[in-house]
Structure 1
Amino acid sequence: MALDTHGGHDIDPNVLAVIPDVERVIDVSYHGESAWAKAFRINVIHTNGVEESYFMKVSVGHHGREALKGEFAATSAIFEITPDFCPKPIAWGTFKLHPDEHFYICKFYEFSEGVPEPASFCEKLARLHSSHTSPEGKFGFPCTTYNGDLPQDNTWFDSWEEFFGNGLRHILRVRQERAGPSDELDGLLPALFDKVIPRLLRPLETDGRKVIPSLVHGDLWCGNAAIIDEDTEEGIVFDPSSFWAHNEYELGNWRPERNRFTSLYFQTYHSHIPKSEPVEDYDDRNALYGLRFNLHAATLFPNHAEFLQMAVDEIRRLTEKFSAYTAKL
């Protein structure tokens, strides 16, 4: 970011232009980073004398720009439905003085350690999922959203099975581009797409059943949820990778123990939204959704072989279980 004379602090004019009614910038401080973005805290005094803090994420390049565009669009969609469940999004854009650098700004929160308590957290999540406002009732999203630096294919589909299969094929292509082929994985994919996915997802949309698209956060692991009130353990979510989906897709990211959402979170969530029919397929559907998140991790961190192995092991289990399945024509 380039030095700006407004208050003498390190802030780009395009950033200052989108923060409303700034009288003076108090300071801009580094607030951490990931492999694909840096974070800053901006403290300002508004023209009404109120001091306010904003969170700013900065990324570079084309994918950095598109990722922040997607984050703003996804957070805005969540905020429109459940404004108490995510930070208020302010803006996204490109620096005036550094055109290859891009920013996303939202309200700043002080976080406490741990995951939000399940009752309020799951009620908010269920409320988000229950607002069936997808354009024309389709599965997808108006723009690309990113899981870290991994772009998702959010092309619109009428069928959840078709949307899920298309998105998963995209993730597999990106993983192979970044990490190279895996003979073990590749050998399992025909049965995954020809047997497992139709067997587990097609019943959701046949025999009079229908999946109504729900807006999902899309990357709801413990690192993207935080406590904002120590007394109540009230929480919010952030860094979404949203699209309209089967609501249970969200819970696939809770399956790995590393994500710290215990069985109590599943139970509390389903006290608001029951498991989809056929209920007897629930655990295997969750496993199918969960293996996609392991493939996300394998793509983001190709040097960590355990993520790919977890996905391979689950695919093998499911393909063996449903090897006799023959899709109805």
Structure 2
Amino acid sequence: MGKLLTIAMPCYNVEAYLERGLDSLADERFSDDLEVLIVNDGSTDSTKEIAQRFVDAHPSIFTLIDKENGGHGSGINAGIAHATGKYFRIVDGDDWVNTDNLVLLLERLRTADSDIVVDVKREVDMASMQGDVVFLPEYVETGTELSFSEVCNREDTESCITIHTLTVKTDLLRSSGIAIREHIFYVDYEYIVKATSRADTVTFFPIEIYQYLVGNANQSVAAENWVKRYRHHETVVRELLQFDEENAFSAAIQAYVTRKIQLVINTHYNVLLIFDKDRKQGLARAKAFRTWLHERYPSYAELTDKRYRKALALHYFGVDAAKLGKIMGR
């Protein structure tokens, strides 16, 4: 192992944003401890050229990995394959970090040895560039190594573990053979479930690191894109169901994995029954998926039937993504 932390930055046509993200990492205080792998995923704009400028200016920090387009999962896989850091995390090419706080996190990582480390993100509105910190729950014990199986099912602890807040031991990722589906969207959730379900220990740090840009209509989580790429999301659902089927977990971790998969199935019903403005099409897709789920994974079908019925009722009442957001207080 070389550096203390590897950051993989998957990039596809992010010329409008990339310099901001790389600037936040181009600090000589990182030279000894940080490796940033800029994974150019077949961009057709000037992403590669921008990345190369930073590699030339800060060769002790930045490395460019230039590859054919394979999607976000491919960028994650390439990052894991090339990482030399003890720890590994992901920063997308259109986001950035709080530089001074990353210095602080690196100081903490020097003495940490947990399988996973969880910190804090800020969600920054694209229009106003104002943001809100998504704090850790008050009951979460910070700065101390904890048993992951003892905290992963406590209230909503797992909700603060996202791709934006998660740092994982590189050896854990490799020894577990973790590989993410390529050529599809929505693999963030797949990565979180696969990486965290292998962890024995976790440490939480109340340090704001990730600056997550939200409000971009082109983001994969925009309602129209959920619908357009519903097959991608369904592929992730099926991948996680198969992952659960093929692996044995302790009772606590199994409960955690089951809940995570239940949530992603619930989301899929929302995409099909509520987000799709073509109500007939969405209904047909939802019924087909539910039939498959009952046949292939009846226990998960039973767990999610209540959400299916709720989404179906909202579907018939004409609730769309915008109205659902208001109902949920967003």
TM-score scaled by length of structure 1: 0.31
| Rg larger in structure | 1
